[in-house]
Amino acid sequence: MKKWLIIILFYLLFGPVTAQVTEMQNLLQQANQLYADNQYNAAIELYEKILQGNYESPALYFNLGNAYFKEGNIPAAILNYEKALKLDPTDNDIRYNLDLANSRIVDKIEPLPEFFMKTWWRNIRDLFSSDQWARAGLLLLILSLASAFVFFVSRSILARKISFWTGTFFIFMMLFAFVFSSSGYRNYNRSDSAIIFIPTVTVKSSPNDNSVDLFVIHEGTKVTISDQVEGWSEIRLANGNVGWVKTSSFTAF
C-alpha cells in the first residue's frame, strides 16, 4: 500500500513536469524537421512556442536565429544569435552566424577602443559558460578540502608542505572560478542591450518628438539602453553616440 502511495505522490509531483519536458522535446524535434525541410516559417512558430513554455537553450536560440535568417528577418536573427551567445559564449558557430547577420545590416558602427583590462577580463570569462565556471569552482573546492585533509592527517613534512601550497593554489583558483561564474550569470541576466526592429529610426536629443534630430540608425543595429522615460529610451551605440528613441522601436535582451 505504501509503495502505491509513493508512486501516486511521485506522479502528482513530477508527472506534469515530465509531461511538459516530453512535449517540449517533441516540439523541438518537429521544429528541427521543419527547418530541415526548408519550412522556415512553420519552424519559427514551433521554436517560439517552445520559448513560451519557458524552455531555452543555446541550440534553440541558434536554430531560431537561423530560421529567421533564412526568411530574411535579419533583426530577429541577430536578436536570437545574441541570446544564444549569452547562454554559451564559447560557441564559435553562434559567433560566426552573428557576424554574418551583422554584415547584412545598413549601419557599420566602429566601437570605441576598450580598456585592455576589461577586454582581458571578458575574454577569460567567456572561455566557459557561467555553469561551467561554477562546476570548475566546485571541483577546485573539493580538491582544496582534500589538500587540507592531507595537511592535517599526514605526518610527513614534505606531504604537508605540498598539500599546503597545492591547497592554497586550489583555493585561489576556486575564487577566480566563482567570480567568473558570477560575472557570467550577471551578464546573462542583464537586459540593457537591444536590437532595433524599425527599418529607420531617427535618434532624438531628448525624449520628445519635437526635439533635435541627432542621427539615424537602421534595423538590426545593437544598442545599449541607459535610461527610460514614458515610452522613450536613451540609447548608446558602440561608437559612443547617445540619444533618445521610442521604446517600441527595439527589442531588449
Q: What is the pLDDT of residues 200-214, one digit of tens each?
A: 999 999 999 999 999
In a domain, 109, yes or no: no
pTM over 0.85: no
| CB distance 147 to 163 below 8 Å | yes
The pLDDT value given to residue 6: 54
The pLDDT value given to residue 19: 54
The pLDDT value given to residue 129: 87
Q: For residue 133, what pLDDT band results from cuts at 50, 70 and 90? A: very high
Give whole-number Cα distances, 100 to 43, 69, 74, 138, 250, in Å. 21, 10, 10, 37, 20
Claim to verify: residue 122 and residue 157 sit in the same structural domain: yes
Claim to verify: residue 9 and residue 78 sit in the same structural domain: yes
| Residue 10 pLDDT greater than 60, yes or no | no
Burial of 137 (0-12, 13-18, 19+ CB in 10 A): buried
The CATH number of residue 38's host domain is 1.25.40.10
Claim to verify: residue 56 and residue 18 sit in the same structural domain: yes
Claim to verify: residue 149 and residue 90 sit in the same structural domain: no
In a domain, 110, yes or no: no
Sign of the dihedral defined by the CA atoms of residues 52, 81, 225, 213, in that order: negative
Claim to verify: residue 76 and residue 11 sit in the same structural domain: yes
| CB distance 250 to 196 below 8 Å | yes
Q: For residue 57, what pLDDT band results from cuts at 50, 70 and 90? A: very high
In a domain, 111, yes or no: no
Claim to verify: residue 135 and residue 75 sit in the same structural domain: no
What is the percent of the chain with per-residue pLDDT over 70, rounded to a whole number? 92
Give whole-number Cα distances, 170 to 9, 126, 144, 174, 200, in Å. 43, 21, 5, 6, 53
From CA 205, how far away is CA 214, in angstroms rounded? 6
Task: Give the residue from 189, 205, 224 where a domain finishes.
Answer: 189
The per-residue pLDDT for range 79-89, each reduced to its tens digit, is 999 999 999 99
Claim to verify: residue 154 and residue 72 sit in the same structural domain: no
In a domain, 95, yes or no: yes
Claim to verify: residue 80 and residue 163 sit in the same structural domain: no
The pLDDT value given to residue 39: 96
| CB distance 36 to 62 below 8 Å | no
Claim to verify: residue 122 and residue 181 sit in the same structural domain: yes
The CATH number of residue 227's host domain is 2.30.30.40
Task: Give the residue from 145, 171, 189 where a domain finishes.
Answer: 189
| CB distance 193 to 252 below 8 Å | yes
In a domain, 107, yes or no: no
Name the residue range of residue 234's domain.
193-252
In a domain, 236, yes or no: yes
Containing H/E element for 235?
strand 232-236
From CA 83, how far away is CA 89, in angstroms rounded? 10
| Residue 11 pLDDT greater than 50, yes or no | no
**Nine-digit cell string for 141:** 573546492
Q: For residue 191, what pLDDT band results from cuts at 50, 70 and 90? A: confident
| CB distance 196 to 221 below 8 Å | yes
Task: Give the residue from 163, 189, 215 where a domain finishes.
Answer: 189
The per-residue pLDDT for range 100-120, each reduced to its tens digit, is 999 999 999 999 888 889 899
Residues in the chain, overall count: 253
Q: What is the mean pLDDT of the chain?
A: 91
The per-residue pLDDT for range 165-183, each reduced to its tens digit, is 999 999 999 999 999 999 9
Overall number of domains in the chain: 3
Claim to verify: residue 65 and residue 127 sit in the same structural domain: no
In a domain, 108, yes or no: no
The pLDDT value given to residue 65: 97
